[in-house]
């Protein structure tokens, strides 16, 4: 494992942990319950973007190998990067984390399916699932559990209000 891989993995784990410290389960449920936006986000990421990439590839502007790579990237969501950007832009963090978590789970299936038949697409399944669970879902859940367990640390205002 290279130093770059370790650093990126650590950054993802810390980002997901920090997001979990800000979120409550109710926030995720409320985000996922925005059905139209949630289903639209899934459709754009899992259908529209891969179809756009495929149509681009059919123009002959890229080789078959490059097209396969672009399709894999198209069906693999940005993971915690999108949620971090939502936090920075003061967007609905519950919605963005719910959508990106669903996309992360679905990408374990959609990314290997995007690989052209005959290539070793199923070989992607175990590493993707391991990364998803260990680097995204586990730190997010740990952060949310910590927030629930120690409510006085949720907001600086809560602690000052009790003094």
- Interval 47-70: pLDDT, tens: 888 788 878 887 878 887 787 777
Burial 137-162 (b: 16+ CB within 10 A, else e): bebbeebbeebeeeeeeeeeeeeeee
**Residue 115 reports pLDDT greater than 70:** no
Residues in the chain: 163
**Residue 119 reports pLDDT greater than 70:** no
CA dist., res. 66 & res. 69, Å (int): 5
77 contacts 104 by C-beta, under 8 angstroms: yes
Torsion on CA atoms 14, 16, 19, 20, rounded to nearest 10: -110
State the average pLDDT for the chain: 77
Residue 136: band (very low, low, confident or very high) from pLDDT cuts 50, 70, 90: confident
CA dist., res. 156 & res. 95, Å (int): 24
pTM value > 0.85: no
Most confident range (mean pLDDT) of 20-29, 81-90, 106-115 is 20-29
CA dist., res. 67 & res. 87, Å (int): 32
DSSP 8-state symbol, 136: I
Place of tokens 């919605």: 95
CA dist., res. 48 & res. 74, Å (int): 9
Confidence (pLDDT) at 80: 64
């Amino acid at each position: 494992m290279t130093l770059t891989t370790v650093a990126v993995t650590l950054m993802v784990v810390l980002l997901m942990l920090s997001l979990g410290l800000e979120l409550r389960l109710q926030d995720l449920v409320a985000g996922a319950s925005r059905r139209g936006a949630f289903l639209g986000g899934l459709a754009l990421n899992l259908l529209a973007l891969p179809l756009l990439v495929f149509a681009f590839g059919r123009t002959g502007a890229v080789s078959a190998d490059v097209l396969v790579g672009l399709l894999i990237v198209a069906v693999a969501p940005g993971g915690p990067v999108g949620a971090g950007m939502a936090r920075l832009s003061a967007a609905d963090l519950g919605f963005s984390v719910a959508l990106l978590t669903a996309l992360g789970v679905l990408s374990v299936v959609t990314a290997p399916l995007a690989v052209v038949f005959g290539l070793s697409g199923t070989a992607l399944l175990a590493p993707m699932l391991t990364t998803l669970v260990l680097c995204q879902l586990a730190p997010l859940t740990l952060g949310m559990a910590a927030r629930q367990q120690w409510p006085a640390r949720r907001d600086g205002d809560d602690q000052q209000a009790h003094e």
